[in-house]
Copies of this chain bind each other. A is one copy, B any other.
Amino acid sequence: MSVTAARGFRAAGVAAGIKSGGGRDVALVVNDGPRDAAAGVFTANRVQAAPVRYSREVLADGALRAVVLNSGGANACTGPRGYQDTLATAERAAGRLGVDGADVAVCSTGLIGVPLPMDRLLPGVDEAVAGLSPDGGQDAARAVMTTDTVPKTASVTRDGWTVGGMAKGAGMLAPGLATMLAVLTTDADVDAAALDRALREATRLTFDRVDSDGCMSTNDTVLLLASGAAGTAADPACFAEAVREVCADLAAQLVADAEGASKEIHVEVVGAASEDDAVEVGRSVARNNLLKCAVHGEDPNWGRVLSAVGTTSAAFEPDRLSVAINDVWVCRDGSVGEDRALVDMTGRTVHVTVDLAAGKDSAVIRTNDLTADYVHENSEYSS
């Protein structure tokens, strides 16, 4: 599991005193090669944290030797000083590892608008380098946690090679990714272009279809590093499938651990004229606070689903829309369907199916219910 499941990687997670309340808060993932191919996907938010801007630049050549991650501070909206801090972090790790600073990516997560305590972070980087281990994946996964209650790791092994990964993120999950950091590693012999293709397709279908609370972070980052240590060239389709599987596994873990959630909601849109339509409708339903409250209250309130569908520009006729909740078609052809009393919503997972009756495309968006615990947690996060 985690980032050290694949050969050729070492990792560490240490407590540097950045995060209030203690605990591990600096993670390091190192690719010992022989390859150093890498790809990345970043937030679509136009307000981007310093580490996002920096990591995007160093990834331009498709190569990375290491990734430093910290929790306890997002280093977003911190001005020129923030960028200097990211640069100093990368260079400290590079110096200790004996690699080029331009081959080290940096990821940060935590409160926006607060400078990082560099007097703690830099010694933390030193300690992480000293603690690197082929078994360090779990520690690294713990060190990136913020409001997460459990570390998230996953791995898939195929014909002689492995894809593994870790992720963090419990709030702010949203389209264009979440605050959400994920690092995936593989020992398959794959070049940067193939990594990029596999990662973009995988994130489009997994992390990008998680929408916990409609809020998009300034720091979202997903990285994929290949060491080639297995000495095996993976079949491209098989490799892409493995990357997607690990991403889907991690994405499901993010939703399961979303802030304050008591229910997981799978919004499946079928009968769409295009995949874009299906995603637009799914997101609109997944973001509807009233529906999320209704699911929390185990109330099969399909009217709120239709209200949300009606705000989209997708192709549909209002009097042909149908909605099922946990497989009971409570709305058929835009009007009252089966008896809502038949719907059992007592389980943790609730399936909402929307049939647009406009085509053959479909998509699933994953979200969670809106609870008083979410409000409490996010009323008290920074102060």
Contacts and interface: CB of A to CB of B under 8 A. Distances in A.
Interface of A: 44-48, 74, 76-79, 81-82, 111-115, 171-172, 176, 213-218, 287-290, 293-294, 296-299, 301-304, 306-312, 316, 318-319, 321, 330-331, 333-336, 370-372, 374-383
28 contacts: A47-B306, A47-B309, A48-B310, A76-B306, A78-B335, A78-B336, A112-B302, A112-B306, A114-B336, A214-B288, A215-B307, A215-B308, A216-B310, A218-B306, A218-B310, A289-B370, A290-B378, A293-B378, A294-B378, A294-B381, A294-B382, A297-B383, A299-B382, A301-B382, A370-B375, A372-B372, A372-B375, A372-B376
A217 B380 CA distance: 31
A208 to B, nearest CB: 14
A297 B215 CA distance: 18
Contact of A289 (B47, B289, B297, B312): B289
Nearest to A74: B303
B287 A218 contact: no
Nearest to A376: B372
A215 B290 contact: yes
Nearest to A378: B293
Q: Which of A299, A321, A336 has the most CB of B within 10 A?
A: A336
Nearest to A78: B335
A110 B377 CA distance: 31
Give the secondary structure class of A's interface: loop
Contact of A79 (B44, B115, B298, B336): B336
A169 to B, nearest CB: 13
A307 B372 CA distance: 23
Q: Which of A74, A113, A301, A316 has the most CB of B within 10 A?
A: A113
Contact of A46 (B310, B370, B374): B310
A76 B334 CA distance: 9
A336 B85 CA distance: 15
Contacts of A294: 378-379, 381-382
B215 A299 contact: no
Nearest to A217: B307
B372 A82 contact: no
Given A74-B303, A372-B375, A381-B294, A79 B215 contact: no
Contacts of A371: 375
A211 B217 CA distance: 22
Contacts of A334: 47, 77, 79
Contacts of A171: 290
Given A289-B214, A290-B215, A321 B47 contact: yes
A217 B311 CA distance: 9
B46 A318 contact: yes
Contact of A76 (B172, B303, B308, B382): B303
Contact of A303 (B111, B115, B176, B316): B111
A216 B289 contact: no
